[in-house]
């Protein structure tokens, strides 16, 4: 992984400014914070022309990798840390063969290279934090053995705070870092253990960023989708399919569509049962049919689109109306599709909500409790009313599961349609059937 691939206009601009600053190396030596030998070595490269620095690194690369890391470990003034991080970046820029020199520093001192870098992440200076993140990403991604949790986990935790924060510089850099790290399987599983990272990805996409950020975030999700356990759970936990469909539909760059379609293919290949229903509910089938008619410069898109089209078509053809309903229910994205307002549908299928210990009824009431979308709430309240209308004994399980209390709460909801549907549902829940004498 080349450090030059992690680009940042913010870091480039500030690096130029920081290079002109003087660092009090002699003062550090007089205070016994660095040795005379370290002072002599750092003066050979600090504020020196690039050609001279390159000549020094060519002959003494390992010495200088250790020097930079040792000084970073000993000196904690922000301007000094900025200077050292720039020197490390300069050493690595266009010289990937020097990465092992920094990794092998652990043979001399087990704290190196990661302890001083992880501490630098906590500095109250955005430049230091982001420059450190770049360097850590390069080193971690190049490790020849599985990454140690004590090095990776704190870094990912910091990245999760960056990705959800208000700083666009931190957000951009963290996404770039994750895009690189997720190429490693051990990183994918560690990222999966930090939900805020994926929540952050979804928040970014929902804000409709530019094409490059849309691509980078989607690329991260694509890499995650290669893991079986992640492909099985990611939509259930983070509702990624509707957001990715929307991102692809509004995309102006082919590469954004390509990586999202590839993500969908992974999700279908790994766990079709978990993901196909949500894809159908989100109207992915008509979208991929449209994609199949377009001209593409990349053959991989065509292959993935046709694969999705066939899989979704096969699933769609085999669906009964009740399958359609349960797919919509499982996705949590209820809308006014025809089944909800069909008396025939509810006469035929109301009791099926009782199957498997009321599995679908529990799902319906969970949607009713968890959703904040007015359309979803209105449809769910309506469905509870239809269920008890066509299956009178259903009033007890609805009440026991908290559905009745929730519907009554919704009678004061700000949305008029939600209030109306909740009122109709409550009427069904409290009505008494005529008794035949």
Q: What is the DSSP string of 67-134?
A: HHHHHHHH---HHHHHHHHHHHHHHHTT-GGGHHHHHGGGGT-TTTTHHHHHHHTTSS-HHHHHHHHH
- Say what the pLDDT of residue 120 is: 97
Look up residue 370 and give its two tokens. 């968890």
Contacts of 265 (CB under 8 A, 6+ apart): 304, 307, 308
Q: Residue 74 falls within a domain, yes or no?
A: yes
Rounded distance between C-alpha atoms, residue 152 and residue 430, angstroms: 56
How many domains is the chain built from?
2
* Cα–Cα dist 309/367, whole Å: 29
Residues in contact with 161: Cβ distance below 8 Å, sequence separation at least 6, in sequence order: 196
Measure the CA angle with vertex 423, ends 417 and 427; round to 5°. Answer: 150
Q: Is residue 10 part of a domain?
A: yes
For 339, the domain range is: 331-430
pLDDT above 50: residue 437: no
DSSP-assigned letters across all residues of 385-419: HHHHHH-GGGHHHHHHTTHHHHHHHGGG-SSHHHH
Does the structure show a pLDDT above 50 at 435?
no
- The residue-averaged pLDDT of 343-364 equals 95
- Per residue in 39-95, pLDDT (tens digit) is 999 999 999 999 999 999 999 999 999 999 999 999 999 999 999 999 999 999 999
Provide the pLDDT for residue 315.
86
Is 176 a member of any domain? no
Indicate which CATH number applies to the domain containing 386.
1.25.40.150
> Model-level pTM?
0.85
pLDDT at res. 2 = 66
Residue that finishes a domain, picked among 93, 108, 139: 139
Of the candidates 119, 139, 159, which is a domain's last residue?
139
Q: Is the dihedral of CA 344, 348, 352, 354 positive or negative?
A: positive
Structural domain contains residue 273: no
Give the C-alpha separation, 184 to 198, whole Å.
17
The last residue of one of the domains, among 139, 174, 190, is: 139
pLDDT digits (tens, 9 = 90+) for 218-254: 999 999 999 999 999 999 999 999 999 999 999 999 9
Query: Is residue 85 in a domain?
Result: yes
| pLDDT, tens digit (0-9, with 9 covering 90-100), for 92-137 | 999 999 999 999 999 999 999 999 999 999 999 999 999 999 999 9
Q: How confident is the model at residue 431 (pLDDT cuts 50, 70, 90)?
A: confident
Q: Is residue 350 part of a domain?
A: yes
For residues 232 and 118, give the distance between their C-alpha atoms in angstroms, rounded to a whole number.
33
363 belongs to a structural domain: yes
Q: State how far the Cα of 232 lies from the Cα of 288, in Å rounded to an integer.
A: 22
Q: Is residue 183 part of a domain?
A: no
The pLDDT, as a whole number, for residue 222 is 98
């Amino acid at each position: 992984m080349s450090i030059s691939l992690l680009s940042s206009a913010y870091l480039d601009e500030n690096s130029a400014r920081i290079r002109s600053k003087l660092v009090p190396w002699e003062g550090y030596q007089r205070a016994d914070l660095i040795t005379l030998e370290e002072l002599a070595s750092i003066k050979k490269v600090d504020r020196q022309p690039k050609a001279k620095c390159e000549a020094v690194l060519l002959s003494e690369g390992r010495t200088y990798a250790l020097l930079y890391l040792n000084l970073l470990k000993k000196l904690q003034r922000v301007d000094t840390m900025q200077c050292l991080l720039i020197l490390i970046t300069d050493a690595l820029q266009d010289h990937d063969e020097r990465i092992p020199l920094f990794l092998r520093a652990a043979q001399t001192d087990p704290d190196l290279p990661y302890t001083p870098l992880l501490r630098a992440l906590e500095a109250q200076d955005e430049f230091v934090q982001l420059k450190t993140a770049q360097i850590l990403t390069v080193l971690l991604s190049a490790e020849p053995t599985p990454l140690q949790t004590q090095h990776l986990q704190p870094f990912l935790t910091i990245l999760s705070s960056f990705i959800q924060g208000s700083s666009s510089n931190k957000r951009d850099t963290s996404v770039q870092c994750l895009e690189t790290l997720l190429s490693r399987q051990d990183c994918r599983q560690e990222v999966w253990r930090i939900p805020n990272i994926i929540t952050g990805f979804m928040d970014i996409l929902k804000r409709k960023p530019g094409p490059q950020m849309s691509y980078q975030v989607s690329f991260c999700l694509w890499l995650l989708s290669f893991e079986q356990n992640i492909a099985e759970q990611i939509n259930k936990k983070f509702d990624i399919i509707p957001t990715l469909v929307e991102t692809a539909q509004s995309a102006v760059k082919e590469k954004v569509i390509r990586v999202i379609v590839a993500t969908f293919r992974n999700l279908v290949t790994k766990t079709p049962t978990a993901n196909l229903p949500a894809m159908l509910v989100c109207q992915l089938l008509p979208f991929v049919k449209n994609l199949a008619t377009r001209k593409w410069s990349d053959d991989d898109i065509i292959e993935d689109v046709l694969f999705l089209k066939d899989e979704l078509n096969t699933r769609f053809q085999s669906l009964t109306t009740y399958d359609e309903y349960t797919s919509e229910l499982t996705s949590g994205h209820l809308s006014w599709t025809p089944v909800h307002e069909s008396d025939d549908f509810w006469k035929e299928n109301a009791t099926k909500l009782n199957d498997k210990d009321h599995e679908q009824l529990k799902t319906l009431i969970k949607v009713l409790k968890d959703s904040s979308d007015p359309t979803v709430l209105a449809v769910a309240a309506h469905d509870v009313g239809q269920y008890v209308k066509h299956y009178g004994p259903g009033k007890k399980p609805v009440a026991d599961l908290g559905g009745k209390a929730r519907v009554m709460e919704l009678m004061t909801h700000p949305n008029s349609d939600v209030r109306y549907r909740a009122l109709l549902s409550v009427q069904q829940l409290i009505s008494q059937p005529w008794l035949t004498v």
